[in-house]
Chains A and B, each alone.
Chain A
């Protein structure tokens, strides 16, 4: 099996208060079957064998569902492949001696922790500002008490599929979190269970998004293009409709 050599330019930053910079690495012995993160494992092994400090990056499930991985690869959140998180991107999409630039998610609302690791807790706070249906444990009616049309249920699922990775923010020229927030708002707005808190939810989540320091949406739709779950910006339109209904 032939292997490749990849030239990496990786963002290294010790912490939020120290300025960072791109550092060049040459990674040899990269197999085309490696995932992008496995290539980073491989780089880190090489660094540590030389006694150097490895590159810190967030990762966990490595099957595209936990939303941990966050790399801007050659200027694109999660890299060039459609509907794919960085962990599912494979090196077969690159060729020998390619140069790849890897940067962290950049947004005021996502403060730097180290290297490629940033703090995405702003998403948790948006979720806590009404991104739920208030039903206490044990207080639920029978699951068949309220039928939900298959169409609504399927669309709600499309929105609910969000993995909370933050690529939408990273790729947005304005660093807006509208797709993340819109997806949650639109999911619940579609379901009968979500009706009671509908107005309160959209207003509070939108206001929280503002407080966190995310930018405005300019309808670039770049978020949809990079979303690993390919969530449609229709959710953003739905969020605005919800918002208009709530304030009028």
Chain B
């Protein structure tokens, strides 16, 4: 009886959408991380490796990939828009700040991760733009020879992009490694509150389970972050 569109117009709807998009983005991160895990196993001097083949496989999906990418972009933008909208509304809801303000503790989930969602979120937004620009649209995107190689895919000689080379080179730069690791730590904080919060927002909560889910969400967030940040460190020291 009520339209889905009204959901954008109130706090509960916004929170549900934030949760849905957040869960979707977390799902994407897990898939992304799974793909990244191949980078732990490969020989960076040989372009014919599992990572590049996986990347190629994705690329070959063609239209399907584009649709998926547009979907992902939409989810990302909606999530970012909602996060910013929630923050701006918060500013309007209490124009005069408390002179003193502190958490009661106990049931409260107020802490560094929950209070900095807007900051970590915006940094992640900026990072993502640069990340996509650097890797997806970076060297090899337009088929430069230096970053491509012909390999045998399913019995056919195919030119594929040597993305692992770009990864290996990128993380030779200590500054890049440090920034990347730092951002991944922020991602961990964002997920620490975000995963739990998304589940709560979707109403999947139960008073007794809350502490359990809160803990599991925290562990999941940390694992994802560690998964991502180990890679550059490893590459820097080993490749």
Contacts and interface: CB of A to CB of B under 8 A. Distances in A.
**A/B contact in complex, CB under 8 angstroms:** yes
Contacts of B14: 216
Nearest to A112: B96
A8 interface: no
Interface in A123-178: 171, 173-176, 178
Contacts of A193: none
Given A75-B102, A174-B86, A239 B193 contact: no
A65 interface: no
Contact of A206 (B1, B10, B109): B10
B102 A173 contact: no
A232 B207 CA distance: 7
B93 interface: yes
Contacts of A214: 11, 93
A192 B150 CA distance: 68
Contacts of A218: 15, 86, 90, 114, 117, 197
B114 A219 contact: yes
A82 B104 contact: yes
A230 B104 CA distance: 12
Nearest to A170: B98
B11 A216 contact: yes
A237 B205 contact: yes
B206 to A, nearest CB: 6
Contact of B105 (A74, A106, A225, A242): A225
Contacts of A175: 90, 93-94
Nearest to A83: B106
Interface residues of B, number: 51
Contacts of A215: 11, 86, 89-90, 92-94
Contact of A243 (B16, B89, B117, B210): B16
Contact of B11 (A107, A210, A232, A233): A210
Main SS of chain A's interface residues?
Answer: mixed
- Looking at B6, B9, B100, B204, which has the most chain A CB atoms within 10 Å of its CB? B100
Interface residues of A, number: 58
Given A72-B98, A103-B98, A221 B93 contact: no
Interface string A208-248: 01100111111111101110001011101111111110111
B142 interface: no
Contact of A107 (B2, B93, B200): B93
Given A173-B110, A199-B2, A244-B16, A103 B99 contact: yes
B98 A206 contact: no
B100 A75 contact: yes
A241 B19 CA distance: 12
A221 B210 CA distance: 11
Contacts of B155: none
Interface of A: 9, 11, 22, 72, 74-77, 80, 82, 101, 103, 106-109, 171, 173-176, 178, 199-200, 203, 206-207, 209-210, 213-222, 224-226, 230, 232-234, 236-244, 246-248
Given A76-B102, A217-B15, 11 more contacts: A76-B103, A108-B94, A176-B11, A215-B86, A216-B11, A218-B90, A218-B197, A222-B110, A224-B108, A226-B104, A247-B4
10 contacts: A11-B99, A174-B90, A176-B11, A216-B86, A219-B114, A222-B104, A222-B109, A225-B107, A233-B210, A243-B12
4 tightest A-B contacts by CB?
A241-B203, A215-B93, A237-B205, A225-B108
